[in-house]
Structure 1
Amino acid sequence: MTIWIDIVKSILTALVSLALISSAAAQSLPGGFVYLRDIDPTIIQDIRYATSNNFVGKPLNGYAAGECVVKRDVGLRLKAVQQELAAQNLSLKMFDCYRPVRASLDMVAWAQNGRETVAERRYNPKIPKTELFRLGYIASRSQHSTGAALDLTLVDLKADNSARIDPARAYADCTGPVEARAPEGSVDMGTGYDCTDLKGHTAARSITPEQRAWRNRLVAAMARQGFVNYSKEWWHFSLPGAGGAAYDFPIQPRRN
């Protein structure tokens, strides 16, 4: 009887070990990538390309989960930024982090499909979408795919950030007043996220002093950790030297 008990225990131990190994394998990411939640779970995430709330109007290929995936060094620097902001009752909010190459190809197909809907025009009210690549707003080979680029904003933790987008509502375009634009649960940077317009340029002159102050605050906080802003997008930052080869692994749900 004792022999059978020992055999059963050995089998159970082996099964538990196999389950743990399988779980770890499912969580493994290539190239030094990590889930940002494993570095700092306090950073707010709204990964827009995993949803229909983006300029393409559907989840992009490769976004099987709304998770921010970053290179470890990038994640540690974001954690440092977040710690500085937390003392000011502010938080980072991530819109996009690592982006699979297949998602960028989805953007290429969208730009060339010959259609422009009212919802799409909210994001690019003045520029035909076929021109977005030439003008540098979208790239078929994105730094995001190397792990070197991020899209983000600031959240005032003292404010009411509860408003959610209503798909049935006709919102103003991304350059409109904040109360008329689609809600993003963040501070007013002068435009919405992914707004392909001169007003979305970081140093745009057509924004209010308060909006400029928020942009400057974000740029300064990120710069203290080595991040560089892209001049045509107030939300886009990259970390020089953090990139390398482009990756195309899909973003999968994170397992605890």
Structure 2
Amino acid sequence: MKTILAAFISIVVISPAHAQSLFGGFVYLRDVDSSIIQDIRYATSNNFVGRPLAGYDAGECVVKREVGLRLKAVQQELAAQNLSLKMFDCYRPARASLDMVKWSQNGHETAAERRYNPKIPKTELFRLGYIASRSQHSTGAALDLTLVDLKADNSGKYDPSRSYADCTAPAEARAPEGSVDMGTGYDCTDTKGHTAAPSINPDQRAWRKRLVTAMARQGFVNYSKEWWHFSLPGAGGAAYDFPIQPRRN
């Protein structure tokens, strides 16, 4: 833990009073392209921790301006195909990553948590590279997202009172995400969540390829262990820790 804390000494910590002004080249994605669907999961209880993470005071996607403009370009290409991006996570306050560290060390795992980690103990998630104590998300260079078929029925909603199958199960048994079937749910720490996993079916593989290809045209690079995770080389820098606050209309 001392090593983890030491790594955060270099993080740029900004007071909440300045967070709304979105310094450091950050913008609200809604101000760049309001058509991009947002489901910022760490601002809700619908995530592997089971509660909002520290620093997520609003369910808003905050990105570096360049990142937002490139996402807008991706969205424009997808719109012609009746598709949309759906954002799960964008900028992540550094305190949220520390919150994940504490969660991984709390000594117990619930059934809801195991939906996301069906085969891997949560104490192993950092060592295996599924979660980072110092995330690229905090620099503004990384994103978690998926595709939505705008012609499909996307009305299914997450019900916290239900017992869903784990993230590797067929889409009809998993928690609904209102998106195309990528073969696993979001944040699924399993080899089936690896982008090139051989265990998914041809349709799921085609959707993953479609997403990777669309993002690559704007310079985004996919992380091989997570089909949903993309980064923009050169867009990062210092890690930030300002909280995500509600956007003013």
Fold match by TM threshold 0.5: yes
Structure 2-normalised TM-score?
A: 0.92
Aligned to 2:71: 78
Aligned to 1:22: none
Q: Aligned pair 1:111/2:104, yes or no?
A: yes
Give the distance between the partners of 1:27 and 1:158, measured in 2 at CA.
Answer: 36
In structure 1, which of residues 69, 94, 99 is the aligned counterpart of residue 92 of structure 2?
Answer: 99
Which has the greater radius of gyration?
A: 1
Aligned to 2:8: none
Aligned to 1:246: 239
Q: 1:2-151 residue pairs with structure 2 within 5 A? A: 27-151=20-144
Per-residue CA deviations over 1:143-191 (Å, capped at 9, x if unaligned) read 0000000000000000000110111111100000000000000000000
Give the distance between the partners of 1:106 and 1:158, measured in 2 at CA.
Answer: 38
Aligned to 2:164: 171
Q: 1:184-223 residue pairs with structure 2 within 5 A? A: 184-223=177-216
Counterpart amino acid of residue 146 in structure 1: T
In structure 2, the gaps of 5 or more residues are 1-17
Q: CA deviation at 1:27?
A: 3.4
The number of aligned residues is 233
Q: CA deviation at 1:26?
A: 6.9
Q: 1:218-237 residue pairs with structure 2 within 5 A? A: 218-237=211-230
Give the distance between the partners of 1:83 and 1:187, measured in 2 at CA.
Answer: 18
How much identity, in percent, do the aligned residues show? 88
Q: Secondary structure at the match of 1:58?
A: coil
Aligned to 2:11: none
Give the distance between the partners of 1:49 and 1:195, measured in 2 at CA.
Answer: 14
In structure 1, the gaps of 5 or more residues are 1-24
Q: Secondary structure at the match of 2:162?
A: coil
Aligned to 1:161: 154
Higher helix fraction (1 or 2):
1
Higher relative contact order (CA 8 A, sep 6+): 2
Q: Secondary structure at the match of 1:241?
A: coil
Over 3 Å counting, the alpha-carbon distance change for 1:38 and 1:206 in structure 2 is same
Give the distance between the partners of 1:28 and 1:221, measured in 2 at CA.
Answer: 31
Q: CA RMSD in A?
A: 1.0
8 Å Cα contact 2:19/2:244 also seen in 1: no
Q: List structure 1 segments (4+ residues) > 6 angstroms apart after TM superposition.
A: none
